[in-house]
Amino acid sequence: MRIVTTLAVLVCAGSAGANLLVNGDFEQPFSVGWETLAVNLAGGDTFTWSDTLGQPTPGYAVKVRKYLASYASLRQTVDVPDANLILTFDGRLAIGGGSSTCWPVAALVVRYRDAAGKSLGNTKIYLHDQYCTWVPSDTQSLIDITRPGVWMPLGLNVAAELSAHLPGITPAEVKKLTVELYAFDNGT
């Protein structure tokens, strides 16, 4: 049960068009702008910064990998002026193995937060495993990526996403956004 999540270029643009993320293109080592977090109940984690990950654009990208439980995360939280945000990135999601007691998920998670940083809900752009028990709710939206192991352009219109899939979140309360590369495994 292993997971690989990779990401090349990540842009979170507000209505003014400026990129709100620091080092979203990963042309500097991910220690610039990004935080790593791993919980290893079993197995290990790797965070890789490389220009040879097969990314569609020249330059550097990152790879987050977790083997067995529980997760490895590369994340950044930024202040946002409002929910009129467009998130675009190249991503490649891959998982391996999977059983009812040990299932992996690779995801790009967007967490919506209020001004104090409290989580209001999230959107998970993810590669589904057949055993995965995640379910959508009025504060959690799941977007299933059905092409494993392939680099592809991905994106999220935050205002449209909140309106269409997250009725439990008041858009005006969203003042911070966490963007997270998330490699998860529920079991050992």
Nearer to Ca ion, 60 or 112 (CB): 60
How far CA 135 is from CA of 138, 162, 188, in Å, comes to: 10, 17, 21
Nearer to Ca ion, 25 or 114 (CB): 25
Stretch that binds Ca ion, among 5-13, 71-79, 81-89, 140-148 (CB under 5 A): 5-13
Q: Which of 13, 25, 84, 139 binds Ca ion (CB under 5 A)?
A: 25
Nearer to Ca ion, 26 or 126 (CB): 26
* Residue 142-171 contact track with Ca ion, rule CB under 5 A, x = bound: ------------------------------
Residues whose CB is less than 8 angstroms from the CB of residue 52 and which lie 6 or more positions away in sequence, other chains included: none
Q: Segment 48-107, which members bind Ca ion (CB under 5 A)?
A: 59-60
Size of the site for Ca ion (CB under 5 A): 5
Nearer to Ca ion, 60 or 71 (CB): 60
Residue type, 65: R
CB of 145 to Ca ion, least distance (A): 20
Residue sitting closest to Ca ion (CB): 59
Is residue 91 within 8 Å of residue 63, measured between CB atoms?
no
Instruction: Say whether residue 33 binds Ca ion (CB under 5 A).
Output: no
Q: Segment 104-123, which members bind Ca ion (CB under 5 A)?
A: none
The site for Ca ion (CB under 5 A) is made up of 9, 25-26, 59-60
